[in-house]
């Protein structure tokens, strides 16, 4: 059996028609007035109009209204005998969908070389455009992640520097005190100073341990191993005890508690969070009275600590519960800027909230709200 070649089966014109019909790109021809003269199968698939519907209509059929001016430009180029190559634009389908297409429009010339119309090849690049867009979005996301990472590394480095300073200072006081203690031990008359030094050492050591605890808390929170050990207890009693402790160093603390506020919380952590608020109120409260209250509002226990200190600007209020943030300048008082962040973690892990209101020059109120019932 003899195999026939394609050119044996089809005339050149029929062959061209077959190529055009089997193309995946829409191939359309139009007159110089923009009237559609031919419309292949891919054009039918791409734009949704059948050849019968499209032929004889203006090409503006598939041009979105805000892009009609493009057609004047394209026809202008064609009349001059120029080609419009890989022109990326948007066209509209019969059902109104917008397609990203890459368009090549070439002049059709007659035997005398005069331009009589235009052929138009359109490729749907919607998918490619979407990929490009996705790539750009990914790139932007990657860049912003990189910026956040750089900021986080900067904050961490600063934190390590400050933490090292905060750890070295009490160590220094302890080393010097120990040295002096050793020297004074030989002198019985120095006994009162020895006792004083031992008390100083104990306080320094307590401060050092509590700093280490806070650093461990940060690690626990960040590694997800910060756990609550809930037990039923009376919050009013706890607040009373905390205020009792602070009253030894700051006599002007007033207390208003409702009797018996029972709940199931982590006693040590709640103590830590409230103590942090009270410690700040004493430290930044300009030696003025501090008011503490523990009340019940609906299903919530509300503990508030109010001072009459210098207050916090609204800008600072927005970031005060963030990690490593502190409002006071680093040189003004000790601290790592971790206390409020840890207090927030404690409140939130109990299903509660922590908030602050403040007026510059008048003072601040910090409030912890805890659900009375565990969800």
Q: Which residues make up the interface to other proteins (CB under 8 A)?
A: 161, 164-166, 168-169, 171-177, 179-180, 183, 193, 197, 200, 203-204, 330-333
- The encoded tokens of residue 15 equal 């062959």
Q: Which of 250/344 has CB closer to other proteins?
A: 250
Rounded distance, CA 275 to CA 368, Å? Answer: 12
Rounded distance, CA 262 to CA 372, Å? Answer: 7
Measured from the CB of residue 235, what is the shortest distance to other proteins in angstroms?
A: 35
Residue 338 CA: distances (Å) to CA of 89, 117, 130, 151, 163:
55, 75, 44, 17, 10
Q: Which of 61/190 has CB closer to other proteins?
A: 190
Helices (H), the chain: 6-9, 12-22, 41-47, 51-54, 68-79, 126-184, 191-223, 235-247, 267-284, 314-317, 339-349
Measured from the CB of residue 162, what is the shortest distance to other proteins in angstroms?
A: 9
Residue pair 216/337 in contact by the 8 Å Cβ criterion: no
Measured from the CB of residue 336, what is the shortest distance to other proteins in angstroms?
A: 13
Q: Which of 193/288 has CB closer to other proteins?
A: 193
Residue pair 197/181 in contact by the 8 Å Cβ criterion: yes
Residue 205 CB contacts under 8 Å (≥ 6 apart), including other chains: 170, 174
Measured from the CB of residue 138, what is the shortest distance to other proteins in angstroms?
A: 40
Q: Which of 52/331 has CB closer to other proteins?
A: 331
The secondary structure of residue 228, as a DSSP letter, is -
Quickly count: other Cβ atoms within 10 Å of residue 18's Cβ. 13
Measured from the CB of residue 180, what is the shortest distance to other proteins in angstroms?
A: 5
Which of 363, 336, 203 is closest to 276 using CA atoms?
Answer: 336
Measured from the CB of residue 173, what is the shortest distance to other proteins in angstroms?
A: 4
- The encoded tokens of residue 284 equal 């930044």
Q: Which of 115/184 has CB closer to other proteins?
A: 184
Antiparallel, parallel or unpaired: β 115-124 and 36-39 = unpaired
Q: Which of 86/193 has CB closer to other proteins?
A: 193
Element (H, E) at 364: strand 363-371
Measured from the CB of residue 171, what is the shortest distance to other proteins in angstroms?
A: 4
Annotate 151-170 with DSSP letters as a single string: HHHHHHHHHHHHHHHHHHHH
Q: Which of 34/337 has CB closer to other proteins?
A: 337
Measured from the CB of residue 333, what is the shortest distance to other proteins in angstroms?
A: 8
Q: Which of 149/164 has CB closer to other proteins?
A: 164
């Amino acid at each position: 059996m003899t195999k026939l070649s394609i050119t044996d089966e089809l005339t050149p014109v029929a062959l061209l028609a077959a190529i055009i019909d089997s193309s995946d790109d829409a191939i359309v021809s139009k007159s110089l007035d923009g009237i559609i003269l031919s419309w292949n199968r891919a054009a039918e698939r791409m734009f949704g109009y059948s050849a019968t519907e499209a032929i004889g209509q203006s090409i503006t059929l598939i041009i979105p209204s805000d892009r009609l001016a493009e057609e004047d430009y394209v026809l202008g180029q064609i009349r001059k005998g120029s080609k419009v190559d890989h022109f990326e634009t948007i066209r509209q389908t019969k059902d109104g969908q917008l397609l990203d297409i890459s368009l090549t429009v070439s002049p059709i010339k007659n035997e005398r070389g005069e331009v009589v119309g235009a052929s138009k090849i359109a490729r749907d690049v919607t998918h490619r455009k979407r990929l490009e867009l996705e790539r750009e979005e990914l790139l932007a996301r990657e860049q912003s992640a990189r910026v956040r990472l750089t900021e986080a590394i900067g904050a961490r480095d600063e934190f390590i520097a400050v933490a090292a300073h905060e750890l070295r200072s009490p160590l220094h006081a302890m080393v010097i005190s120990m040295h002096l203690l050793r020297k004074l031990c030989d002198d019985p008359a120095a006994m009162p100073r020895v006792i004083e030094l031992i008390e100083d050492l104990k306080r320094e050591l307590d401060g050092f341990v509590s700093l280490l605890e806070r650093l461990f808390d940060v690690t626990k929170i960040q590694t997800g191993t910060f756990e609550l050990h809930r037990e039923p207890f009376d919050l009013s009693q706890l607040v009373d005890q905390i205020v009792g402790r602070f009253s030894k160093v700051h006599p002007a603390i007033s207390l208003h508690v409702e009797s018996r506020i029972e709940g199931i919380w982590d006693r040590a952590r709640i103590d830590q969070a409230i103590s942090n608020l009270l410690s700040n109120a004493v430290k930044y409260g300009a030696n003025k009275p501090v008011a503490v209250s523990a009340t019940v509002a609906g299903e919530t226990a509300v503990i508030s600590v109010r001072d009459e200190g210098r207050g916090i600007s609204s800008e600072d209020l927005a970031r005060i519960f963030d990690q490593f943030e502190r409002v006071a300048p680093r040189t003004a008082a000790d601290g790592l800027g971790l206390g409020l962040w840890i207090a927030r973690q404690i409140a939130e892990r109990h299903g509660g909230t922590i908030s602050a209101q403040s007026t510059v020059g008048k003072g601040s109120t910090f409030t912890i709200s805890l659900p009375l019932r565990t969800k």
